[in-house]
Amino acid sequence: MWGRAASLQEAREQLVLANRILVRLGLLDSMGHVSVRNPEDPSTYLLSWAKAPRWVTPEDILVFDLDGRDLSESGKPPYMERALHGEVYRARPDVHAVVHCHMESVLPFGLTGRPVRAVIHSGAMFWEGVPVYDDYYDPEHEGVYIISQEQARRMAAALGSCRAVLLRGHGCVVVGSTLPELVVSTYSLDRNCRVQWTTEAVAPARGLSEAEALAMLRVRLGEVGIRRAWENWVEELREAGWWPG
Residues with catalytic annotation? Answer: 81
In terms of residues, how long is the chain? 245
DSSP 9-75: HHHHHHHHHHHHHHHHTT---TT-EEEEE-TT-TTEEEEE-S--GGG--GGGEEEEETT--BTT---
Which helix (H) or strand (E) element contains residue 100?
strand 97-101
| 95: three-class secondary structure by DSSP | coil
- Do residues 11 and 38 make contact, with C-beta atoms less than 8 angstroms apart? yes
Sequence-distant (≥ 6) Cβ neighbours of residue 117 within 8 angstroms: 126, 127, 129, 196, 205, 207
What are the respective helix, strand and coil percentages of the chain, to the nearest 5? Answer: 45, 15, 45
CA distance 186 to 188: 5
